[in-house]
Structure 1
Amino acid sequence: MVKKQKSIGTWICSHNSINLEILKNSKFDWFTIDLEHSAMTLDLCFDIISYLKSSSNKSCFVRMSDLSQSNIKRVLDFGADGIILPMVKNKNEIDNIIDAAHYPPLGSRGTGLFRAQEHGDRLEDYIKESYENTKIIIQIEHIDAIDNFHDFLQYDAINGFIIGPYDLSASLGKPGDFENKKFKNAIEKFESLCLKTKKDMGYHMAFPDSKKLKGLLKSGYNFIGYSTDILLFKTQIDVVNKDISNCV
């Protein structure tokens, strides 16, 4: 097993300045702004990136809503440190992602003069540094991705992979059944291949669970999405509801 630096982040699905202040002072190493399963717009995404990057030293990713090349280019110009791509199933999709995220000769990303490039002041340096600094994380959310995973690992421009357990289990006909044998076999294949590489091995936990977190870290996962801002809030409200019910 290749030793990798461990990091834990969370998904941001809402736009609230107080929540962002609390999150930026938390022990999370990074944040992912979720464009896929939230009401988040590109305008709000830009505002959150600007706030977090100007007030903290934590990494800021964007989970794209789809594999659209135009939106990949836009969020990188916003200043995102990286992108997380949902429901990637084959090499052709990875080729298109790399093409959109990187400048020539590796890709065909257009040259913008926006926030990431400090409106032109750091254009040359930004382009020189972009290959090393632009992180691309592929979500493994379908059995087709598991079947093609060996091929995915051959891409130097891909920095890591993160399991989306609900969609992966759904692709096996057992949504939310993480004890299903087919799901476990898929996870075992993913782990056995990824642990041999230097690439980040990730897992997105929908709900906070310290026992699950410890288990993932012990198994070699080093890039863990720990719930979402909304579900962290809901989980605490559930605790309060139980307290009230027990006291009234």
Structure 2
Amino acid sequence: MNVPINPFKQALRNREMQLGLWSGLSSHVTVEVLANAGFDWLLIDTEHSPNELPMVHSQLQAITRGATHPIVRPTWNDAVVIKRLLDIGAQTLLIPFVENAEEARSAVAATRYPPLGVRGYAAAARASDFGRIKDYPHACEEQLCVLLQVETPTALANIEAIAAVDGVDGIFIGPGDLAASMGHIGQIGHPDVVAAIEDAIARIRATGRPAGILASDEKLARRCIELGVDFIAVGSDTGLLARGAEQLAAKFKNVA
């Protein structure tokens, strides 16, 4: 038995644009519904969602019924948190709020076993099919994908240094926190924020690393695709449910 191939990582290497959706509803039922909706990847969020480890475990199990690749966002760039997500089978992680090369190296080290990193060893975790993948500790690195989120002017200034860290598989722009840190909270479409995003995409691509972003605004999403992003989330399950419910209610509300 071999370590499962990571199709998302392969696609990034081949420069095949990957279309994604954000999942914040923290439900294995929702994830199962979305797993065959046509997206290449689904972000299982734990930073800004009421998601805990057993729930993420269930969501990873549910998504195996579909063709969509799960990406898990930890609560923070924390080696213990990352270790636990890897052990339950996450192969691709989006690590938030990385601002410099040192933090990038810490993130990568959390995904590597000694002597290359600090990941703790477990003999029979779900990641190794409960010990059935005998060479898992030696073979897993090739299929792990480490994406780092840059979301402040400081982080953007350090894009080249972050990209130069060995083991970084992609750099993801977080537009919400970027806008807030630039003094434009809630205004992702502000001209200064858009200009910063466009510059960041160009600089990430110039380093040779794949560039990603969350862009739920259609105009911004299409602009980012035009600029050559390699992976992009174009909405969220929470947004789809909330806006869809509002639109349906509005159609029939106060109808005589």
Percent identical pairs in the alignment equals 28
Deviation at 1:245, TM superposition (A): 4.3
- Alignment correspondent of 2:223: 215
1:234 aligned onto 2:234: no
Out of 5-14 and 102-111, give the one that drifted further: 102-111
Gaps of 5+ in 1: none
Count of residues paired in the alignment: 243
1:127 aligned onto 2:137: yes
2:41 maps to a residue whose letter is W
Partner SS state of residue 206, structure 2: coil
Pairing partner for 1:4 from 1, 15, 34: 15
State whether residues 146 and 189 of structure 1, in contact with CA within 8 Å, keep that contact through their aligned partners in structure 2: no
Q: How does 1:137-152 map to 2 (within 5 A)?
A: 137-152=147-162
- Alignment correspondent of 1:29: 40
Pairing partner for 1:114 from 110, 125, 137: 125
1:177 maps to a residue whose letter is Q
* Per-residue Cα deviation, 1:19-75 (whole angstroms, up to 9, x for no partner): 23320110111111110111111110111112213x234321111111111010110
- Alignment correspondent of 1:244: 252
The separation in 2 between residues aligned to 1:244 and 1:16, in whole angstroms, is 29
The separation in 2 between residues aligned to 1:213 and 1:182, in whole angstroms, is 16
TM superposition score normalised by structure 2: 0.87
2:15 maps to a residue whose letter is K
State whether residues 194 and 201 of structure 1, in contact with CA within 8 Å, keep that contact through their aligned partners in structure 2: yes
* Per-residue Cα deviation, 1:124-181 (whole angstroms, up to 9, x for no partner): 1x22332221111111111110111110110231111111111001111111223445
1:195 aligned onto 2:205: yes
Gaps of 5+ in 2: 1-12
Pairing partner for 1:39 from 50, 59, 65: 50
How big is the alpha-carbon RMSD for the aligned residues of Structure 1 and Structure 2? 2.1
State whether residues 73 and 100 of structure 1, in contact with CA within 8 Å, keep that contact through their aligned partners in structure 2: yes
Partner SS state of residue 237, structure 1: helix
